[in-house]
A and B are shown apart, each in its own frame.
Chain A
């Protein structure tokens, strides 16, 4: 029987996937980072770069920040937590799950207004959303989701929230906001710059100036129970190095301090 390349590849993969469960004894550490799903792309890129420079390897577990905090609180063996939201980090700090002195506010993001890529409407500022052509504006639930909370704060500051509120369609999260703008079921939406960057079916028409917008914070910290704190510190140093910062910037994030 002729064994195809595909079969061979599949067999070696099967072996690899079985072997990867066998703990490997080595001096290099595997650092498990619990990270918000919105950081997936940038952290995968950073992990690759880090591995080429360091003996340590980065493993990611990705999900909604509140799930991740919950798992760490129950003793899940994560070495670091990278949250999209300060509240979840506060919870872990209150429960003494963080290594004292390791918490850092690393990243920020920027709110932007997006419209469908083929939109003909002239929207160049938040004020233009008052125009009667703009009938619906998608927004992550302003009552619960951080992106929505940030936007409503910003629009209230601009004295536009009251007038725009009847047009607001609250949706599940930032990804759902992008999706509803992509499908052109709404004329515009407020999302993070990094989320707008991964869709080519929407275009950014306005960036909320950083000094005017509310402070969006992604904090990082080392977990108290981690047995790989030195390796974790080494990774944080890499994140703060020019090489690490360059990758965050490439993906559209804003670095704090």
Chain B
């Protein structure tokens, strides 16, 4: 199918930033999920809830909080600005919005897959003299990797669909910060239904592919 240059640009931009955001959150998500699944600590339930919040809060309000944090008039945003780092109206803003909004899905999925690894296997490895770090990389991670990949795919798909936080933090600049979701919004606003449906088709295709693959991995993980 032949798409316009603009359509390719928007799709590739969304995929590249979505992928980057998933790569950025993956190590943090896996570490936190492991702490949730394997350790007991003070205020764990509070931290678990806070991490989940972006999943249930209106995305626009998450976007407003991010704008307050990274805006030039905030301490952090001002500090970054003096060092030449701009988040607002920039692709880095898209990356941050996608990361924050998809992080809960990653942590939840990975946590479940860690919980499904029998602690007995880890204990056996420990009695054979393996260090905790070695146990994690040789026993736990290989057994949970399908769930981790499935969680990463789900998080990636969520990031692609992100709208509310992105438009507030990164703006909606064609060719700079415009993702598939933002472009669809624009086409709907200006009455270009045909163009909106083209992008909608691409979004549905991508989302279906990634979510289906994610589910398939989870089913395969259960059978193994």
Q: Which A positions have Cβ atoms within 8 angstroms of B? A: 6, 9-10, 13-14, 16-18, 20-21, 32, 34, 37-38, 40-41, 44, 59-63, 67, 70-71, 74-78, 175, 178, 195, 198-199, 225
The reply to whether B71 and A75 form a contact with Cβ atoms under 8 Å apart is yes
Contact partner of A178 (CB less than 8 A), chosen from B88, B174, B191, B192, is B191
Report the minimum CB–CB distance from B72 to chain A (whole Å).
3
Residues of B within 8 A of A67 (CB): 167-168
Q: Within the assembled complex, what's the spacing in Å between the Cα atoms of A40 and B192? A: 11
The reply to whether B12 and A14 form a contact with Cβ atoms under 8 Å apart is yes
In the assembled complex, B116 has its CB within 8 A of some CB on chain A: no
The reply to whether B189 and A17 form a contact with Cβ atoms under 8 Å apart is no
Residues of B within 8 A of A199 (CB): 191
Contact partner of A63 (CB less than 8 A), chosen from B9, B167, B175, B191, is B167
Residues of B within 8 A of A9 (CB): 5, 8
Between-chain CB contacts (< 8 Å), 26 pairs: A9-B8, A10-B8, A10-B12, A13-B12, A17-B9, A17-B12, A17-B16, A20-B176, A32-B173, A34-B171, A37-B190, A59-B175, A61-B89, A61-B171, A63-B167, A71-B67, A74-B67, A74-B68, A74-B71, A74-B72, A74-B77, A76-B67, A76-B89, A198-B190, A198-B192, A199-B191
The reply to whether A61 and B172 form a contact with Cβ atoms under 8 Å apart is yes
Q: Which of B1-54 contact A (CB under 8 A)?
A: 2, 5, 8-9, 12-13, 16
Contact partner of A60 (CB less than 8 A), chosen from B5, B72, B173, is B173
Residue of B with least CB distance to A61 = B171
Residue of B with least CB distance to A44 = B174
Residues of B within 8 A of A76 (CB): 67, 71-72, 88-89, 171
Residue of A with least CB distance to B5 = A13
Report the minimum CB–CB distance from A15 to chain B (whole Å).
10
In the assembled complex, B73 has its CB within 8 A of some CB on chain A: yes
Residues of A within 8 A of B176 (CB): 20, 59
- Provided the pairs A40-B190, A62-B172 are in contact, do residues A77 and B16 lie with their beta carbons within 8 angstroms? no
The reply to whether B177 and A41 form a contact with Cβ atoms under 8 Å apart is no
Residues of A within 8 A of B190 (CB): 37-38, 40-41, 198
The reply to whether B175 and A75 form a contact with Cβ atoms under 8 Å apart is no
Residues of B within 8 A of A77 (CB): 72, 86, 88-89
The reply to whether B88 and A40 form a contact with Cβ atoms under 8 Å apart is no
In the assembled complex, B211 has its CB within 8 A of some CB on chain A: no
The reply to whether A21 and B91 form a contact with Cβ atoms under 8 Å apart is yes
Interface centre among A13, A18, A74, A178 (most CB of B within 10 A): A74
Residues of B within 8 A of A75 (CB): 71-74, 77, 81, 88
The reply to whether A74 and B167 form a contact with Cβ atoms under 8 Å apart is no
Residue of B with least CB distance to A68 = B171
Residues of B within 8 A of A16 (CB): 9
In the assembled complex, B64 has its CB within 8 A of some CB on chain A: yes
In the assembled complex, B186 has its CB within 8 A of some CB on chain A: yes
Q: Within the assembled complex, what's the spacing in Å between the Cα atoms of A9 and B8? A: 9
The reply to whether B171 and A17 form a contact with Cβ atoms under 8 Å apart is no
In the assembled complex, B188 has its CB within 8 A of some CB on chain A: yes
The 7 closest A-B pairs by CB, nearest first: A75-B72, A74-B71, A61-B171, A198-B191, A37-B189, A75-B73, A61-B173
Report the minimum CB–CB distance from B74 to chain A (whole Å).
8
Q: Within the assembled complex, what's the spacing in Å between the Cα atoms of A222 and B219? A: 56
Residues of B within 8 A of A6 (CB): 2
Residues of A within 8 A of B67 (CB): 70-71, 74, 76
The reply to whether B177 and A61 form a contact with Cβ atoms under 8 Å apart is yes
- Provided the pairs A74-B67, A74-B72, A175-B189 are in contact, do residues A63 and B171 lie with their beta carbons within 8 angstroms? yes
Interface centre among B5, B67, B68 (most CB of A within 10 A): B67
Contact partner of B175 (CB less than 8 A), chosen from A20, A37, A41, A195, is A20
Residues of A within 8 A of B173 (CB): 32, 59-61
The reply to whether B16 and A18 form a contact with Cβ atoms under 8 Å apart is yes
Q: Within the assembled complex, what's the spacing in Å between the Cα atoms of A14 and B19? A: 14
- Provided the pairs A61-B171, A75-B71 are in contact, do residues A70 and B88 lie with their beta carbons within 8 angstroms? no
Given A13-B12, A59-B173, 6 further pairs, Cβ under 8 A? A44-B174, A61-B172, A61-B177, A63-B167, A71-B67, A74-B72
